[in-house]
């Protein structure tokens, strides 16, 4: 998926768990991301996504996983009034805006099934946590939000307590790759969203970059998420959750 995936497990868990269980956790996470990349990467000529894009494969004959994610992405398009979409401007189906978060979601289920309760999974800035880095104290995991105008500085160290997921989208890391609504220039250079689940956080971060302030207001009102948005001049729009963490 063109990004780095890291799994951090609380030190007390390392002391208590068998080494083979931890190795299994890493293998499971690696396997989930690798398998989804084979299916959804538009940079792999033989992937289902590439075959769909070139017209070699019809959506009706695609795998169940691809069809399910297409349906989920389509539901989000309706819910965000088009701010989030799985279609590129030229009509090419591109599910990269949801597949990474889906991979994190699937990995979290596997980690739970393996009995791990205190961990942090970070996939290219999409962060999902469980438990605490110090289980005995219930201290929350902290997710850093990098300043897009100064990559050596943090805008916030956000405590993942009431929200377990944080996702960041924008042009700072990968350049202009999000299609703004109406073809206009994106209002925000970076948007971070804290939510109860990683797919909601990731989708809405992308949608707010595409839809601007209107979509930001909609996301807060409809989904109750926390948002930190950065304008091109460095000014910030922050919901109370992020203001408290500043």
* 63 contact partners, CB below 8 Å, separation of at least 6: 39, 48
- Supply the mean pLDDT for the chain: 89
Pairing of strands 126-130, 165-170: antiparallel
Neighbours of 97 (CB within 10 A): 22
| pLDDT tens readout for residues 28-66 | 999 999 999 999 998 888 899 999 988 899 999 999 999
Is 174 a residue whose pLDDT tops 60?
A: no
How far apart CA 139 and CA 159 sit, in angstroms, is: 9
Write down all domains in the chain, each with its CATH number in brackets: 5-245 (3.10.520.10)
- In this prediction, residue 115 has a pLDDT band, given cuts at 50, 70 and 90, of confident
How far apart CA 96 and CA 34 sit, in angstroms, is: 14
Please report where in the chains the tokens 């994610």 appear, as a residue: 69
* Residue 139 DSSP label: B
How far apart CA 209 and CA 192 sit, in angstroms, is: 10
Please report where in the chains the tokens 């791990």 appear, as a residue: 116
For the residues 129-144, what does the mean pLDDT come to? 93
Q: Residue 165, SS3?
A: strand
Neighbours of 143 (CB within 10 A): 24
Contact criterion met (CB below 8 Å) for 145 and 228: yes
Q: How many angstroms from the chain centroid is the CA of residue 213? A: 20
pTM of the model: 0.90
Among 133, 90, 100, 127, CA closest to 33 = 100
Please report where in the chains the tokens 């807060």 appear, as a residue: 220
């Amino acid at each position: 998926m063109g990004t780095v995936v890291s799994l951090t497990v609380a030190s007390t868990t390392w002391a208590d768990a068998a080494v083979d269980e931890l190795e299994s956790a890493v293998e499971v996470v690696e396997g989930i991301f690798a398998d989804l990349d084979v299916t959804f990467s538009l940079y792999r000529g033989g992937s289902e996504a590439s075959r769909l894009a070139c017209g070699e494969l019809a959506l009706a004959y695609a795998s169940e996983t691809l069809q399910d994610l297409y349906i989920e992405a389509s539901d989000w398009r309706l819910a965000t009034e088009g701010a989030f979409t799985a279609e590129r401007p030229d009509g090419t189906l591109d599910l990269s805006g949801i597949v990474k978060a889906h991979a994190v979601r699937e990995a979290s289920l596997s980690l739970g099934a393996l009995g791990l309760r205190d961990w942090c999974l970070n996939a290219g800035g999409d962060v999902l946590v469980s438990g605490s880095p110090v289980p005995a104290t219930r201290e929350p995991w902290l997710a850093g939000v990098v300043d897009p105008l100064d990559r050596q500085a943090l805008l916030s160290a956000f405590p993942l307590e009431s929200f377990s997921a944080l996702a960041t989208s924008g042009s700072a890391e990968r350049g202009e790759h999000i299609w703004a609504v109406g073809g206009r220039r994106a209002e925000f250079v970076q948007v971070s969203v804290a939510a109860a689940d990683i797919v909601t956080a990731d989708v809405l971060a992308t949608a707010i970059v595409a839809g601007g302030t209107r979509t930001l207001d909609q996301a807060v009102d409809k989904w109750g998420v926390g948002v930190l948005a950065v304008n091109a001049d460095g000014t910030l729009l922050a919901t109370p959750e992020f203001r408290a963490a500043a």
